[in-house]
Copies of this chain bind each other. A is one copy, B any other.
């Protein structure tokens, strides 16, 4: 009982026993392979996903066909913004893709609505998740408007690096992550390489001097 998936989600551990039972009975665990489209424009979202393993990348497709990265959902978090659209019966304009193999709990609309009605703890969980995502969006907007590209790229590289300090992504992918052009990424990375912070090969960037990158990021948030 103590090792149920429910305890992996911070706000849910305080749920009373009856609600837990309903939540477990009314939802199911699903696994999807890397690359799966989890939700997309035109498709009604019918489930709230709580991620157990893997990451989901949420992007906005613009009319002109280009894409902007919005945020990334990690294990222990939920794709909660879809719920607004799920309950509002409105179409979602963003799309979510599994970046890795993903294991998740899918809560159907019916169960979700029921639990929101019944459980104050579940309600707080949902609204807290909202609050976090919305704050993230505000921060993103702020970043796009005021932050220099080199700083944004440096901090994104640090986030995306694996345990060997390698980022597996093409310049084009990094471009859409930051909402900029591939050329800008190429130039900025050359500059980082010239300074001895990174080494590049096709499809990957090795961070060989994280300190340099970190100093660049810090220097920008310190104009007080």
Q: Please pick, from B113, B116, B137, the residue contacting A141 in the complex, using a CB distance under 8 A.
A: B137
Q: Closest CB-CB distance, A45 to chain B, in whole Å?
A: 11
Q: Closest CB-CB distance, A69 to chain B, in whole Å?
A: 10
Q: Closest CB-CB distance, A185 to chain B, in whole Å?
A: 15
Contact code string A68-102 (vs B, CB < 8 Å = 1, else 0): 10100000000001011111101001100000000
Given the complex, which residues of B lie within 8 Å of A128, measured CB to CB? Answer: 84, 87-88, 90
B146 and A144 contacting across the interface, CB-CB below 8 Å: no
Contact residues of A: prevailing secondary structure? helix
Q: With the chains together, A66 CA to B145 CA distance in Å? A: 10
- Copies of this chain, count: 2
Contact code string A120-153 (vs B, CB < 8 Å = 1, else 0): 1001100110111011011111101110000000
- Chain A residues with a Cβ under 8 A of chain B: 60, 62-64, 66, 68, 70, 81, 83-88, 90, 93-94, 113, 116-118, 120, 123-124, 127-128, 130-132, 134-135, 137-142, 144-146, 179, 221, 223-224
Top 10 A-B residue pairs of the complex, sorted by shortest distance between their CB atoms = A87-B127, A84-B130, A88-B128, A84-B131, A88-B131, A145-B179, A88-B127, A62-B142, A90-B131, A84-B127
